[in-house]
């Protein structure tokens, strides 16, 4: 690929825009492939060698945001840049939350776009990470409580080994951050860190995504492609939510752990790999074994070392440093003159909330407050009712008086949020910082 700045897939339903973008980017030294729809782009994404995807937001059929979500599922290592002529802070925030590498509005300056693509592609190559960038606010494990210090100490001890690690914890506690810490502190830190969200991959795509495929292995496989395990060769493979893998894929993962060998879909050659595996789950794998949903032999292969991350409600002392960190980082991201201060009672309310979505829920709330805040201070009245309510419990709802169980507190937080969103479960899950599957599971347990 000598002389080529990068391989770009450009997606727009307007033919004249595709033509102009192709001409401009090629003049700037990029190799360009185009797609007239998100659906066409997804087909190309499965097999084409690409460095970055650039997409318009408003298109007929699936939107650019919808495409971004799908790409994050089927090819999470491919960075996505979102462009729109209908820019707004809400669209920008949604795109960045969904994992966009960057965002800007039409009319497009080719110099600006070229510099952006250089930076995005360079970040992936420089860090060797086959994964979309994580916001700086999420990169360190922040905390001063005893529970999080114990986690950090265990990470420091384990990182220098090649031992397989099983990270356990609720959604939003920071399992991916632990995997990053393990990789950065290991002898493999100059190699790739490949992150796979097993819960986001459909069963039909899981084998190809993890193990790769040969040309002609299935419709749309126009080129051979290395899977995530091959891409992690010499580095670390992080399988998030490993409990969501099907029994067939579990068996193949077991073989990788035993023999360090992979075989692509449609292939007949066994490929040797050198990969350290870190897996994570928010599920009870031992119960899944009893119910026939998880292989016992794989479980014991995975749990050579275990790291248990405490929920945020068990590390209340970390809420203040986390909030201050998020305020500073987000104020910088949104170009505010200074980070907003917290008004009277706000920190008490944040410390009193049970945080069923853990650190992710806290960060989402702080981001919402920074974006929508009209002044230099965040007041108690600015907090959503489901957060500020428990801090001043009424006589008929003393949730935090020590007489209510965790299930009751979580149920109350979920019901308040459902009321606030008019019953919108997707929005409720986003606000609470938990996955939709987790929300349905908790609702089903009521």
Set out the domains of the chain in order of their start, with CATH numbers. 7-128 (3.40.50.2300), 137-310 (3.40.50.300), 313-444 (1.10.8.60)
pLDDT at 291: 96
Q: Rounded to an integer, what distance in angstroms lies between the CA atom of residue 5 and that of residue 361?
A: 38
Average pLDDT over residues 171-186: 90
Q: Which of 305-319, 329-343, 365-379, 387-401 has the lowest mean pLDDT?
A: 387-401
Query: In the predicted model, what is the mean pLDDT of the chain?
Result: 83
Q: Is the pLDDT of residue 196 over 50?
A: yes
Confirm whether pTM is higher than 0.75: no
Q: Which of 159-163, 207-211, 337-341, 386-390 has the lowest mean pLDDT?
A: 386-390
For residue 60, what is the enclosing H or E element? none
Residue with tokens 């039409």: 106
Residue with tokens 């449609």: 266
Position 437 confidence tier, pLDDT thresholds 50, 70, 90: confident
**286: which 2 tokens?**
């031992």
233 vs 112, residue with greater confidence:
233
Position 132 confidence tier, pLDDT thresholds 50, 70, 90: very low
Three-state secondary structure call for residue 391:
helix
pLDDT at 296: 96
* Distance set, CA 209 to CA 71, 74, 227, 238, 384 (Å): 12, 7, 5, 13, 40
Q: Rounded to an integer, what distance in angstroms lies between the CA atom of residue 1 and that of residue 109?
A: 25
Q: What are phi and psi of 53, to 5 degrees?
A: -115, 130
pLDDT digit string (tens) for 237-274?
999 999 999 999 999 999 999 999 998 988 888 899 99
């Amino acid at each position: 690929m000598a002389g080529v700045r990068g391989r770009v897939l450009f997606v727009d339903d307007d033919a004249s825009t595709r033509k102009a973008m192709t001409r401009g980017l090629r003049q700037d030294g990029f190799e360009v492939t185009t797609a007239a729809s998100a659906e066409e782009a997804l087909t190309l994404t499965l097999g084409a060698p690409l460095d970055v995807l650039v997409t318009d937001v408003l298109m007929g059929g699936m939107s650019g945001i919808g495409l971004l979500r799908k790409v994050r599922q089927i090819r999470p290592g491919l960075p996505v840049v979102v462009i729109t002529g209908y820019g707004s802070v809400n669209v920008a925030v949604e795109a960045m939350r969904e994992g966009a590498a960057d965002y800007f509005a039409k009319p497009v300056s080719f110099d600006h776009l070229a510099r952006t693509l250089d930076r995005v592609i360079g970040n992936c190559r420089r860090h060797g990470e086959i994964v979309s960038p994580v916001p700086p606010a999420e990169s360190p494990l922040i905390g001063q409580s005893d529970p999080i210090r114990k986690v950090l100490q265990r990470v420091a001890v384990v990182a220098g080994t090649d031992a397989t690690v099983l990270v356990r914890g609720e959604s939003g506690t920071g399992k991916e951050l632990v995997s990053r810490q393990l990789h950065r502190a290991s002898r493999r830190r100059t190699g790739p860190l490949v992150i796979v969200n097993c819960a986001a991959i459909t069963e039909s795509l899981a084998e190809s995504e993890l193990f790769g495929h040969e040309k002609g292995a299935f419709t749309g496989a126009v080129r051979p492609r290395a899977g995530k395990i091959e891409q992690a060769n010499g580095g670390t493979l992080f399988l998030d939510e490993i409990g969501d893998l099907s029994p067939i894929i579990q068996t193949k993962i077991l073989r990788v752990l035993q023999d360090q060998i992979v075989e692509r879909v449609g292939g007949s050659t066994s490929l040797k790999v050198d990969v350290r595996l870190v897996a994570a789950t928010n599920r009870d794998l031992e119960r899944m074994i009893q119910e026939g949903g998880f292989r016992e032999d794989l479980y014991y292969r995975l749990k050579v070392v275990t790291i248990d991350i405490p929920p945020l409600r068990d590390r209340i002392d970390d809420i203040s440093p986390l909030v201050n960190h998020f305020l500073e980082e987000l104020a910088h991201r949104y170009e505010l003159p200074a980070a907003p201060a917290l008004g009277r009672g706000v920190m008490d309310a944040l410390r009193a909330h049970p945080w069923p979505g853990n650190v992710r829920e806290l960060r989402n709330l702080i981001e919402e407050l920074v974006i929508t805040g009209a002044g230099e201070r965040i007041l108690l009245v600015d907090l959503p009712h489901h957060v500020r309510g428990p801090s001043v419990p009424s006589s008929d709802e003393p949730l935090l008086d020590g007489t209510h169980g965790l299930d009751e507190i979580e149920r109350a937080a979920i019901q308040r949020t459902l009321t606030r969103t008019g019953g919108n479960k997707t929005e409720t899950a986003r606000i609470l910082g938990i996955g939709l599957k987790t929300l349905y599971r908790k609702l089903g347990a009521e």
